[in-house]
A = this chain, B = another copy of it.
Amino acid sequence: MTQRQRPPTMQDVAERAGVSRALVSLVMRDAPNVSVARRAAVRKAAAELDYRPNAAARSLAERRSNTIGVVVNDLHNTFFADVIDGIHEVAMGNGYRLLLNTAWRTDDDELKAIEAFLEYRVDAIVVLGPRAAGEKLELAGSSVPLVAVGSITPGVDVVVNDDERGSELVVEYLVDLGHRRIVHIDGGGGGGASRRSVGFVNAMERHGLDPFVVPGDFTESSGAAAMSKLLKAGEPPTAVFAANDLAAVGALDELTKAGFDVPGDVSVVGYDNTAIAALSHIGLTTINQPRREMGRQTMELALDRLDQGRKAAVTRVVTPELVVRRTTAAI
């Protein structure tokens, strides 16, 4: 078993460059007031030794890590990839680096991931699609800025899209196309599901239409099941609005199988504008959330607490927009 050699330290660089440890520290941090000659000598020595500052020692001494911890609840959900791009953009611009941690769709994992970040003493924590109860997050948020994205979580900073407005956009669009019998397949207890449902009901009633909602749970199979039940129940709706794209695809599939033409006979709309919706083979009309922008705002909220010392929890609501593709048509 070979002994892995100890990585070089600041001391090693200092000796090789013939200066003090403190001077090396100054150079590594690009501090001013270091003579050009010394700076060059230190850089040279560092390069020759392949020196790399020890992040642990640095955080310990600085008493801050300059990193933001991001808890990604579901790596399979690409929704968050764009959000992370936005977070990354702003974080980098402010001298922070990102560290991610996954949770496997359970409260417990999520809290464990947060716990790990607290041990690392990250400067702020972002939870994408939180599952854990608000109080738990709020507790964690008491020792470090914490922002939740995608689900409204009391007691902490939140960034979400306006689900009610999204549903409203869908209803208005469908009504404009002449649809009257519109059904909503809801998302059960999933994030934002209830607000999408409420938005649907309100918008329908505002138009004097009957808001028919059938249960679902954000999965393809639930969308298919709901559609199948709907078709069996007699006179089918002329438009179906599913709580997310996956359920919409399930419904779409069921309609096709039953011999209906989409959008000729029935229009179908989803929510989230995932990659699936964009597949030209599917071309699903859906609602887009400005994910990257959500990421930016998330980071802004964190920076706001970090730099301005804001204490009160804030909620930022971004505006969704309709993306028309090929599963919707006038009646």
A: residues with CB less than 8 A from B are: 1-2, 4, 7, 50, 52-57, 59-60, 65, 72, 75-76, 78, 80-81, 84-85, 88, 97-102, 104, 115-116, 118-121, 143-144, 220, 224, 249-250, 252-253, 256, 275-276, 279-282, 308-309, 311
Contacts and interface: CB of A to CB of B under 8 A. Distances in A.
Given A55-B119, A253-B280, A281-B252, A84 B75 contact: yes
A57 B60 contact: yes
B118 A52 contact: yes
Contacts of A252: 281
A75 B65 contact: no
A78 B80 CA distance: 11
Nearest to A109: B88
B119 A102 contact: no
Q: Which of A76, A85, A88 has the most CB of B within 10 A?
A: A76
B76 A275 contact: yes
Nearest to A100: B100
Contacts of A115: 52
B253 A121 contact: no
Nearest to A99: B99
Contacts of A98: 101-102
A85 B65 CA distance: 27
A253 B278 CA distance: 12
B280 A250 contact: yes
Contacts of A57: 56, 60
18 contacts: A1-B308, A4-B143, A4-B144, A7-B121, A54-B119, A54-B121, A75-B75, A75-B81, A76-B78, A76-B275, A85-B104, A97-B116, A249-B279, A250-B280, A252-B281, A275-B276, A276-B279, A281-B281
Contacts of A97: 116
A199 B154 CA distance: 55
A2 B85 contact: no
Contacts of A279: 220, 249, 253, 276, 282
Given A99-B100, A220-B280, 6 more contacts: A4-B144, A50-B143, A54-B121, A78-B78, A97-B116, A275-B276
Nearest to A119: B55
Contacts of A116: 55, 97
Contact of A2 (B72, B80, B81, B311): B311
